Structure 1
Amino acid sequence: MATFQISRTSGQYWYHLRADNGEIVQSGEGYTSKVSCETGIQSVKANCHPQRFDSFFNAGQYGFNQIAANGEIIGRSEKYTTAQARDHGLQVVMREAPEAHVQDIA
């Protein structure tokens, strides 16, 4: 099962969604408070529908962004070397993020 990890760096809170193999598949923006970061995670969980993801290829790398209903990016994937690896990461987010546990390491 995937896990959201909340960490704190340079005064900001960040989330990383880690697959069950420990690899980061998606990350959020820097938040000024832990509560805002937790709200961001809830938005990710609520927006795990295919139409909420935008896949791309740029500068030789594949990736995807997760988009909230208001059009804002709420998560960015890691970069992948193949479209197949990117699509697998996207499937992990859609399948596991809604039920993923949150681990506070901040």
Structure 2
Amino acid sequence: MSSKFELFRSPKDNLFYFHLKNSKGEIILQSEGYTTKANCQNGIRSVKKNAALDKAYQTNAKHFSLKSVDNGKIIASSEKYASEELAQKGMAAVKKNAPNAESIDLTVRKRTVKNK
């Protein structure tokens, strides 16, 4: 399994979100809610663009956020880690995995063909 972004819509607030999963299927980055799918897709593109840039990260010991270097806004954040060392490893995983991760849109339902 390779790294991937998953775009989904929350039934709780009806907003669009994405998260980045590593090759083990663990979530390593989570977005805030977006009102439109297009804005959420732009968020994924922004993560891919900014993930490799050290200056795009804002760290707070056991947590990090990724911001756009163009406008300084936070695009997505990590979970709260048990240690600063684990947070650094999480950030390294985002830097490595995000730029080339595939995107999967979980809001699109697969159509089934009925046999006659």
Instruction: Answer whether TM exceeds 0.5 for this pair.
Output: yes
Task: Point out which structure has higher relative CO (alpha carbons under 8 A, 6+ apart).
Answer: 1
Identity of aligned residues (%): 33
Q: 1:51 aligns with which of 31, 43, 55?
A: 55
Secondary structure at 1:35's aligned position in 2?
A: helix
Which residue identity lines up with residue 12 of structure 1 in the other structure?
Answer: L
- What's 2:33 paired with? 30
**What do residues 13-67 of structure 1 show as CA deviations (whole Å, max 9, x unaligned)?**
000101111111111110111111000000010002111101113xxxx110101
Instruction: Name the residue aligned to 1:4.
Output: 5
* Structure 1 residue aligned with 2:65: 65
Which structure has more strand as a fraction of its residues? Answer: 1
- Secondary structure class of the residue paired with 1:20: coil
Structure 2: which 5+ residue stretches go unaligned?
A: 108-116
The structure number with the bigger radius of gyration is 2
The 3-state SS of whatever aligns with 1:4 is strand
Q: What is the distance in 2 between the residues matched to 1:56 and 1:2? A: 25
2:94 — aligned with what?
A: 93
- Cα RMSD over matched residues? 0.9
Instruction: Kindly state the Cα deviation for residue 104 of structure 1 after the two structures are TM-superposed.
Output: 1.1
Are 2:17 and 1:20 equivalent residues in the alignment? no
C-alpha distance in 1, partners of 2:23/2:45?
A: 19
Helix, strand or coil at the partner of 2:43: helix
Distance 2:55 2:90 in 1: 16
TM-score w.r.t. the length of structure 1 is 0.91
Structure 1 segments unaligned to the other structure (5+ residues):
none
